[in-house]
A and B are shown apart, each in its own frame.
Chain A
């Protein structure tokens, strides 16, 4: 049981290496089913349950909760429980579901709290000229945040069984898990700001507003924004080069003025 639990955890850890191998989909349930089947000594059931769970997870899956559970832990523990309890994939998923939901909180917390440590350490290394340090932070950060916790959580969950993990999940206040999801929605604003601050100046700021307005009001997808942006760039710098110096005046004719605050 202990050895099986460790092996289940190792499978969970190893399939996360797919993110270092080209995001090759090795962590999808259809693949993890095979690995868990091998570890648990029932390959055929593993493959069938894995394929069933693959179909469950193929779209956006929300089985009774607000947020979809982690596909990797859900698929792995679902298959493992299906074999260990001898019940079908659907029953196994209801056993695995609390842990997969719990893992979503763990994953959010790791990405939000632990990963920034590696990101900023990497910034510091680059500033010192230690490029190897940055390389280490990239790989180590991925391992500590994505691979290691899945080993720990999957081993533990399989060893302790669902009731214990369910109790842990219920002990976490809802505002903490919701708060992490909400913060995850804010934080891309920081990356966008850092990127924009490298390019933007008074003369070109209007194009940021234009891109925002076209997307927010008209719902134009990114490729459409890029086509319009490319046309504008050509108009401004090739067709009508003289206009570049007076770019800000463009807004007085357009309707994006009211967005500019």
Chain B
């Protein structure tokens, strides 16, 4: 569709994007603590992966890429899906493409977009829809619930579709320019810088660990958590993340890491170490 040496069969079609749109609706169905919306994201990317890669090993590598952590406001997840689709398409056609930049871009976009999307959809649109719906429903009118669903979902589905279109269109035009000018290594580096800063900021935002208990008595009593916060805010979430990162680097099986984390949570709660 866009690159010059494209063989038609491997270019993303409108039907593929339609499939991505429909599949993106399931984004939150298999939400989990470990990688959150990752299966929904991967599920949405599969029509693209099947389209652009012929060889089984390429398909597997791409699928594994999209089985990594993902979380954003589901309504605008399609913007990132569109960009990922464009990047996978480039990756399949350009041997010099650095595939790790695909996940760097995802990481860089997911949390900032969640910030915008959450306040737009949860904070604004949902509140307007609820206000309109409840006032009618309180009188026993079925128009209330209907209005609630319509006011929220008509903009939602329209925005979801256009985000996919924009994401893919922006991704392809941007990438073809970058490829022509040979800036790909720089883009990879820039995406890693941005992605890692966002991932670093996810630690205080997404990981929560706090301890119970206090030292001293009476007015001089200080909670242990406030002492730790005095050393460094979000110190415990950082330590937990670094600890888990070490385990991941040492190829400890993910199932074991999960069991360790759950055991620490439950045993710690038994001894009253953690505050809920």
Show the binding face of A for B, using Cβ within 8 Å. 19-26, 28, 30-31, 33-34, 43-45, 47-48, 50-52, 54-55, 58, 66-67, 111-113, 115-116, 118-120, 122-123, 126-127, 129, 131, 134-135, 137-139, 141-143, 145-146, 174-176, 178-200, 204-205, 207-217, 220-223, 225-226, 228-230, 232-234, 236-238, 241, 244, 259
Contacts and interface: CB of A to CB of B under 8 A. Distances in A.
A115 B30 contact: yes
Nearest to B265: A183
A116 B258 contact: yes
Contacts of B204: 212, 215-216
Contacts of A225: 111-112, 197-198, 201
A47 B149 contact: no
A20 B74 CA distance: 11
A131 B46 contact: yes
Contact of A31 (B35, B71, B148): B148
A36 to B, nearest CB: 12
Given A30-B148, A138-B26, A187-B33, A195 B39 contact: no
Nearest to B153: A24
B33 A193 contact: no
Q: Secondary structure at chain A's binding surface: helix, strand, loop or mixed? A: helix
Given A119-B35, A123-B67, A129-B59, A34 B207 contact: no
Given A48-B138, A191-B69, A139 B29 contact: yes
Contacts, number: 382
Contacts of A234: 190
Contacts of A33: 137, 145
Interface in B187-246: 187, 189-209, 232-234, 237-238, 240-241, 243-245
A226 B140 contact: no
A210 B192 contact: no
A182 B273 CA distance: 10
Task: Identify which of A21, A24, A225 gathers the most chain B CB atoms within 10 Å of its CB.
Answer: A225
A199 B30 contact: no
Interface of B: 24-36, 38-40, 42-43, 46, 49-50, 56-57, 59-60, 63-65, 67-69, 71, 74-75, 100, 103-104, 107-109, 111-112, 114-116, 126-127, 129-130, 133-134, 137-142, 144-145, 148-149, 152-153, 156-157, 160, 186-187, 189-209, 232-234, 237-238, 240-241, 243-245, 247-249, 254-255, 257-258, 261-262, 264-270, 272, 274, 276
22 contacts: A19-B31, A22-B74, A47-B141, A47-B142, A48-B139, A115-B33, A126-B42, A131-B63, A137-B30, A138-B29, A175-B272, A185-B209, A188-B202, A192-B206, A193-B241, A193-B245, A207-B193, A210-B200, A211-B196, A216-B204, A229-B193, A233-B189
